[in-house]
Amino acid sequence: MSETIPLCVPSIRGNELAYLRECIETNWVSYVGPFVGRFEQALAETVGARYAVATNSGTAALHVALTVAGVQPGDEVLVSDLTFIASANTIRYAGAWPVFTDVTPDTWEMDPQKVVDFIRHECVESGGRLINRTGERPVKAIMPVHILGHPADMDPILELARRYDLRVIEDATESIGAKYKGRMAGHLGDIGCFSFNGNKVITTGGGGALLTDDGAWARRAKHLTTQAKSDEIEYVHDEIGYNYRLTNLQAAFGLAQLECLGKNLEAKRAVATRYAEGLRDVPGLTLPMEAPWAFNTYWLYTVLVDETRFGMDSRALMRYLAERHIQTRPLWAPLHRQAPYRDCQAYRIGVTPRLYRDGLSLPCSVGLTEFDQQRVIEAIRSAALR
């Protein structure tokens, strides 16, 4: 009974060891080696994109994606207020400024109507550019974040982007395998980014990738991740680049993980189904939804805890479960309230503070056993009865 049930840990059950052994036996362990290309190819095929560029983190992928899409210092990028802070940080790395937008109360994803309203009422078109009247900076891009495995409602966002010539950079770091109206998350906008951090659906230990159909962007992304080296032999560089590459070892691990993506997603959805059955009737708990147009991978299984009806708030439930060796975690504090972003514009935020207050993510590893999951369900039910 005392083994802690973790929130979300990797599942390593495929060809990882065999592929790593191949790296070691062939001496290709660093940035050069055949697995990098194989991993990129397999990723591109998975989402149906023309190109994938592997990076050493999802954060790096987002930074490079913004840069190749033409986001420049002084530009603005609309981003969801409810996400991991890396989304906004990468906008600042590119020298641009985030404008935080609200989420919908049901999906918890970027609210397209508020994005429409922001552009219609807060911006003006001038010289072919869209200018935010507050601060008079050009709005260049939208970064919808598909949080927790559920896609954002993309069509209204894409339509707006076409109308105003904005780039759409999807932060799909949490949602590989998710679908929007049958289309793959990460291949809906101009560029999509994935993360292969250890808590994501598949992992490379640490890593990421960007996906796009634009060959010139893909080539420049590869170039920027490789210190913008313009000659194979001579140390000649044509701009300021980064060392954002994934190693052959990590790509080998990632390829083996990617082979298990389908199985991992099935496991995630099975976990979600069992939680729905076990928790459906608990008063004061709101379970995550799947919009009619969505395929939710349930990367993290997050519930909302209504203090009055459940009998304790989300943080008290977190402590109650921790005492029973069950690890849970709140959602992210709204970005517009975080120290680095307090002075940035936040447009009509109404929903994210409540989700932050009430949200709690439950154990949902791919390898979570039915026995352990039952323990979680019973512990939550016992908390509700107190």
Ligand X SMILES: *Cc1c(COP(=O)(O)O)cnc(C)c1O
List residues binding ligand X (CB under 6 A). Answer: 57-59, 83-84, 86-87, 145, 171, 173-174, 195, 197, 208
Which of 110, 271 has the CB closer to ligand X? 110
Q: Which residue, 185 or 305, has its beta carbon nearer to ligand X?
A: 185
Whose Cβ is closer to ligand X: residue 58's or residue 254's?
A: 58
Residue 26, strand partner residues:
none
CB of 252 to ligand X, least distance (A): 18
Specify the amino acid at residue 294: A
> Cβ of residue 197: shortest distance to ligand X, in angstroms?
4
Compare residues 76 and 171 and give the one whose CB is closer to ligand X: 171
Comparing CA positions, the residue from 249, 272, 160 lying closest to residue 203 is 249
Which residues does 121 contact at the CB level (< 8 Å), separation at least 6? none
Question: Which ranges of the chain does DSSP label H, i.e. alpha helix?
Answer: 16-26, 34-47, 58-68, 86-93, 112-122, 154-164, 215-225, 248-259, 261-279, 307-310, 314-323, 352-358, 370-385
Pick 34 or 206: Cβ nearer ligand X? 206
Q: What is the largest CA-CA distance in the chain?
A: 71
How far is the C-alpha of 328 from the C-alpha of 288, rounded, in Å?
Answer: 15
Question: Is residue 143 within 8 Å of residue 166, measured between CB atoms?
Answer: no
From the CB of 224, what's the least distance to ligand X, in Å? Answer: 16
Shortest approach of ligand X to residue 74 CB, angstroms? 23
Find out whether 109 and 146 touch, Cβ atoms under 8 Å. yes
Euclidean distance between CA atoms 133 and 123, whole angstroms? 5
Collapse the DSSP code of 178 into the 3-class scheme (helix H, G, I; strand E, B; otherwise coil) and give the result.
coil
> Smallest gap, in angstroms, from Cβ of residue 324 to ligand X?
27
Shortest reach from residue 173's CB to ligand X, in Å: 4
User: Rounded to whole angstroms, what are the CA distances from 359 to 204, 236, 279, 284, 328?
Assistant: 28, 50, 15, 12, 10
State which residue, 92 or 274, has the beta carbon closest to ligand X: 92
DSSP 229: B
In this complex, which beta carbon is closest to ligand X, that of residue 279 or of residue 335?
335
Strand 183-184 and strand 179-180: the pairing is: antiparallel
Strands 191-195, 167-171: parallel, antiparallel or unpaired by DSSP?
Answer: parallel
Give the shortest CB-374-to-ligand X separation in angstroms: 28
The CA R_g of the chain, rounded to the nearest whole Å, is 21
Question: How near is the Cβ of 172 to ligand X at its closest, in Å?
Answer: 9
Nearer to ligand X, 145 or 383 (CB): 145
The distance from CA 196 to its chain's CA centroid, rounded to whole angstroms, is 10
C-beta of 84 vs 310, nearer to ligand X = 84
Instruction: Tell me how far, at minimum, the Cβ of 143 lies from ligand X, in Å.
Output: 10
Mark 230-269 as b/e (b = at least 16 C-beta within 10 Å).
Answer: eeeeeeeeeeebbebbbbbbbbbbbbbbbebbeebbebbb
Residue nearest to ligand X (CB): 58
